[in-house]
Structure 1
Amino acid sequence: MADQYDMDYERVAGLKITGVPLYLWEENNFLIIANRYGNVINPFDGISNRRVCSMQKFGVLTSARRWINDEIIVNSNGHEFKVSVVEYTDDWSPFKPAPFDKVDDSEEDDDNMETISKTWMEEELEEPEEGEI
Structure 2
Amino acid sequence: MYNIFQKYGDIVEVVIPAKRDKGGRRFGFARFENVYDVRRFEYELDGIIIGRDKISVNISRFQRSERHLDHNKEEMFNKDYGEKRDGQYNGKNGAHNHAASNRGEPRSYAHAVKKNTQGINNARPINQGLRRVSYQAESVDLKKLKGAFVGIVDKPGMSYNIQEQFHRQGYFGIKITPLGANMVLMEEQEEGELQALLLEAKSWLDQWFSQVKPWEPELVDNERLLWVRVYGIPAHAWHVNFFDLICKPYGTFINADDGTTKKNTMDVARLLMRRKGQRVVDDSFEAIVNGVVFPIRIVEDSYG
TM bucket, shorter chain: 0.5 to 0.7
| Aligned ranges 1:33-48 → 2 under 5 Å | 33-43=246-256, 45=258, 47=260
Say whether 1:15 aligns with 2:231: no
- Greater displacement, 12-21 / 82-91: 82-91
Partner residue in 2 for 1:69: 282
How high is the TM-score relative to the length of structure 2?
0.25
Q: Identity over the aligned pairs, expressed in percent?
A: 26
For residue 20 of structure 1, what is the amino acid of its counterpart? I
For residue 272 of structure 2, what is the amino acid of its counterpart? G
> What stretches of structure 2 of length at least 5 have no aligned partner?
1-220
Give the superposed CA RMSD: 2.2
The separation in 1 between residues aligned to 2:257 and 2:249, in whole angstroms, is 16
Partner residue in 1 for 2:270: 57
The separation in 2 between residues aligned to 1:30 and 1:53, in whole angstroms, is 13
The separation in 2 between residues aligned to 1:29 and 1:44, in whole angstroms, is 15
Shift of 1:47: 4.7
The separation in 1 between residues aligned to 2:296 and 2:276, in whole angstroms, is 21
For residue 295 of structure 2, what is the amino acid of its counterpart? K
| Aligned ranges 1:42-121 → 2 under 5 Å | 42-43=255-256, 45=258, 47=260, 49-90=262-303
Partner residue in 2 for 1:130: none
For residue 290 of structure 2, what is the amino acid of its counterpart? N
Partner residue in 2 for 1:24: 237
Larger-gyration structure (1/2): 1
SS of residue paired to 1:23: helix
The separation in 2 between residues aligned to 1:89 and 1:82, in whole angstroms, is 22
The separation in 2 between residues aligned to 1:37 and 1:18, in whole angstroms, is 16
8 Å contact from structure 1 (residues 27, 44) kept in 2: no
The separation in 1 between residues aligned to 2:228 and 2:266, in whole angstroms, is 15
Shift of 1:59: 1.5
SS of residue paired to 1:31: helix
The separation in 2 between residues aligned to 1:65 and 1:36, in whole angstroms, is 15
Shift of 1:42: 3.7
Shift of 1:48: 5.8
Q: How many positions carry a matched residue from both structures?
A: 84
Shift of 1:90: 2.5
